[in-house]
């Protein structure tokens, strides 16, 4: 078995999410692989465009549903290239890689999902998984975004904002740039939509910290503030999970680009992560 | 361990017998430096060398290597696996290969590395340290495994330690070239090893090094050296345990492309760069410190990621000395 070998997959659908992000729905050409392919929310795959290169991307669909979906932001040469690809094209997929969120360990507990910007993509996988399996007490989604136009999976988020309570799910949205759509939303859901940053959404919420887990994904700057908020509420560092980004080239702990830490503990983000607890961050320098 | 003696007069025959395994590579002097090169005769090698410029890792993790080639729109696997002999590997380099093994042979196994590792017949050789060697401090000055045969110099030949079944088979097939080890040989071996142990001039204080370095994260010494460092990445290339690689797709002509990997260096700015332009190690200080942390990473089951070969010192154009940096970092805490 060659771990660097990718499997051809057809792009079934390309959907514009925002001007920068597109949602790709993919299906392997090998039917057997479609049946066997499973993953944990939080894991990632490496997308291969033969002749152009590879890049890592989080799975944003849930293992409870198929086919797989990837939310790709146009951020560089490779992602720009794939944004130009149409339905029916074939790309390579290898993985899944990484540890993912420990969904089984968290069963029966509350989940506090905190997403910032593109961080919504891997957390959507958790959200769907939690709602589909129904194995979790209550699910909060705190989603901080720049503007209404940048809300990823807008239809799904708005649907849950309106009807989430029936599924034991509370969705809250914070935005930075005001727009008529945001003001309209804020008027309709004054307790759940506000102008501000993602930590503002914690206001008025009381969590049973003994029975809750926080799962965070967002830009590096967000972690510090969100973690401070969670620690103030006495959530244990072992119950705060976050998914991190580094340059993952091989995905299997060989190429060395994603190594972090010091002489005492070194970790490969691709193999030991990308999901870490806040305790891992406290004991490994350079993790966040 | 099994021991036999190879008398000096039989050395050439022994060398020639190895040709049956495959192409032989050994240390050859070119100008002022030594390199592992293809050799046809024993006389081409200089076995009294201290260190080669590129370590034996180049035979297993190739400086540039083709992983796949694109044919009819999809990838075809590449790779070679011809048997070969690596002659005259020092014990520090044997240990370095063991460190690479832990990375490349752990699950999922790197098939390119594994194939070459299987194809290699390794003949180790004893050496005397120069002023840059500090392998003794790291316990890598003597190899107990990781080789097929290991030759220790005696006044009238070589004491051969047999480290693998394949090594045993080679000795067996050429039994006429080898003698039993005599008491005199044992005394000579012991005397040589004692003399060698005393010859080390440089010492790395490795006790508590990992924790000490971790505690010295903000030491001003890092900054001082980062300013001196040219960030050329030489140390990465010559290091027998540095193994970072970069992958790129390259078009050979309008119809054919290849996917290659090549050595990368953590001193390059692109090493920690992610999509969107965020760099997790943006400054030279971050990158300098990272290399030292990586080399001094302490694995409880295996030790440090450094084998004390002294290559990074010898080939550093800025004259930065590994042990001196670590000593100063330690000193900045006291």
**Per-residue pLDDT reduced to its tens digit, B209-242:** 899 999 999 999 999 999 999 999 999 999 999 9
Question: Which of A249, A256, A258, A272 best probes binding to B when mutated, by most B CB atoms within 10 angstroms?
Answer: A256
Closest partner residue to B217 among A1, A52, A285, by Cβ?
Answer: A285
Nearest CA distance, A71 vs chain B (angstrom) = 14
Specify the pTM. 0.93
Which has more pLDDT, B177 or A221?
B177
The complex scores an ipTM of 0.90
- For residue B257, is pLDDT > 90? yes
Question: Do the chains contact at A50 and B276, CB–CB below 8 Å?
Answer: no
Instruction: Name the residue in chain A with its Cα closest to that of B105.
Output: A254
Smallest Cβ distance to B274: which of A3, A246, A263? A246
What is the percent of chain A with per-residue pLDDT over 90, rounded to a whole number?
Answer: 84
pLDDT in tens, A207-249: 899 999 999 999 888 999 999 999 999 999 999 999 998 888 9
| Chosen from A89, A121, A262, A274 to mutate, greatest number of chain B CBs within 10 A | A262
Rounded to 10 degrees, the C-alpha dihedral A186/A189/A195/A200 comes to 170
What's the rounded Cα separation, in Å, for the pair B192 and B328?
33
Instruction: Give yes or no for A75 touching B (CB within 8 A).
Output: yes
Average pLDDT, chain B: 94
B289 band by pLDDT with thresholds 50, 70 and 90: very high
Report the Cα A116 to chain-centroid distance in Å. Answer: 9
Per-residue confidence (pLDDT) for residue A220, from 0 to 100: 85
Paired tokens of B291 = 């290399």
The pLDDT value recorded for residue B159 is: 96
Predicted pLDDT at A286: 81
Q: Which candidate from A54, A256, A262 shows the least CB-CB separation from B214?
A: A262
- What is the pLDDT of chain A when averaged over all its residues? 93
Residue A74 in contact with partner chain B when CB distance is under 8 A: no
**CA–CA separation, A277 vs A101, rounded Å?**
10
Contacts of residue A59, Cβ cutoff 8 Å, sequence gap at least 6? A39, A41, A43, A44, A45, A68, A69, A70, A96, A122, A125
Provide mean pLDDT across the span B48-65: 95
In the predicted model, what is the mean pLDDT of residues B302-321?
Answer: 93
Residue A144 in this model has a pLDDT that exceeds 90: yes
Q: Cβ–Cβ of A52/B68 closer than 8 Å?
A: no
User: What pLDDT, on a 0 to 100 scale, did the predictor assign at position B206?
Assistant: 87
What is residue B17's predicted lDDT score, i.e. its pLDDT? 95
Using alpha carbons, list the distances in angstroms from residue B184 to B5, B9, B11, B188. 11, 18, 19, 6
Partner-chain contact B243 A8, CB within 8 Å: no
With DSSP H G I counted as helix, E B as strand and the rest as coil, what are the percentages for chain A, rounded to 5?
Answer: 30, 30, 40
Residue A231 sits at the chain B interface (C-beta within 8 Å): no
List the single residue in B with minimal CA-CA distance to A2.
B111
């Amino acid at each position: 078995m060659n771990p660097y070998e990718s499997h051809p997959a057809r792009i079934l659908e390309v959907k514009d999410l925002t001007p920068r992000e597109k949602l790709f729905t993919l299906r392997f050409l090998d039917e057997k692989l479609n049946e066997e392919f499973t993953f944990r929310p939080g894991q990632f795959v490496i997308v291969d465009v033969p002749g152009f290169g590879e890049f890592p991307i989080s799975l944003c669909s849930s293992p409870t549903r198929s086919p797989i979906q990837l939310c790709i932001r146009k951020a560089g040469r490779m992602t720009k290239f794939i944004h130009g690809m149409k339905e029916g094209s074939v790309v390579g997929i290898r993985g899944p890689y990484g540890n993912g969120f420990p969904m089984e360990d968290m069963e029966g507990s509350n989940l506090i999902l905190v997403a910032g910007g593109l961080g919504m993509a891997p957390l959507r996988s958790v959200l769907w998984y939690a709602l589909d399996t129904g194995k979790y007490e209550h699910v909060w989604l705190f989603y901080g975004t720049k503007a209404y136009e940048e809300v990823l999976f807008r239809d799904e988020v708005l649907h849950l904002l309106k009807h989430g309570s029936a599924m034991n799910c509370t969705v809250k949205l914070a935005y930075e740039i005001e727009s008529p759509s945001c003001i309209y939303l804020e008027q309709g859901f004054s307790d759940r939509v506000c102008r501000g940053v993602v930590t503002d959404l914690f206001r008025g919420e009381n969590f049973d910290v003994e029975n809750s887990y926080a799962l965070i994904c967002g830009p590096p700057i967000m972690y510090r503030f969100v973690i401070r908020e969670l620690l103030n509420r006495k959530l244990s560092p072992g119950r705060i999970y976050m998914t991190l980004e580094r340059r993952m080239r091989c995905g299997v702990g060989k190429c060395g680009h994603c190594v972090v830490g010091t002489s005492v503990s070194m970790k490969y983000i691709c193999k030991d992560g990308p999901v870490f607890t806040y305790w891992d961050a406290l004991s490994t320098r350079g993790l966040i | 361990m099994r021991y036999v003696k190879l008398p000096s007069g039989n050395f050439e025959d022994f060398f020639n017998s190895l040709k049956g395994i495959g192409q032989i590579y050994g240390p050859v002097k070119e100008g002022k430096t030594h390199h592992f090169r293809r050799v046809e005769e024993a006389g081409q090698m200089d076995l009294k060398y201290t260190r080669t410029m590129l370590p034996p890792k180049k035979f297993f993790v190739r400086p540039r290597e083709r992983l796949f080639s694109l044919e009819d729109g999809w990838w075809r696997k590449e790779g070679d696996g011809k048997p070969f002999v690596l002659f005259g590997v020092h014990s520090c380099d044997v240990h370095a290969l063991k460190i690479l093994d832990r990375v490349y042979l752990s699950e999922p196994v790197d098939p390119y590395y594994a194939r070459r590792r299987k194809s290699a017949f390794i003949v180790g050789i004893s050496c005397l340290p120069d002023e840059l060697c500090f392998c003794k401090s790291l316990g890598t000055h003597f190899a107990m495994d990781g080789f097929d045969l290991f030759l220790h110099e005696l006044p009238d030949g070589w004491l051969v330690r047999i480290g693998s079944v394949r090594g045993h088979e080679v000795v067996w097939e050429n039994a006429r070239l080898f003698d039993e080890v005599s008491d005199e040989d044992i005394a000579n071996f012991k005397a040589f090893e004692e003399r060698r142990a005393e010859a080390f001039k440089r010492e790395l204080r490795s006790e508590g090094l990992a924790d000490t370095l971790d505690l010295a994260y903000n030491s001003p010494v890092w900054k001082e050296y980062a300013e001196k460092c040219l960030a050329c990445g030489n140390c990465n290339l010559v290091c027998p345990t540095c193994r970072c690689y970069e992958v790129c797709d390259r078009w050979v002509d309008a119809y054919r492309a290849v996917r290659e990997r090549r050595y990368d260096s953590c001193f390059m700015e692109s090493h920690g760069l992610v999509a969107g332009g965020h760099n997790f190690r943006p400054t030279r200080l971050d990158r300098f410190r990272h290399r030292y942390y990586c080399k001094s990473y302490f694995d409880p089951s295996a030790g440090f990621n450094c084998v004390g070969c002294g290559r990074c010192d010898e080939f550093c154009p800025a004259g930065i000395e590994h042990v001196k940096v670590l000593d100063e970092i330690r000193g900045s805490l006291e």
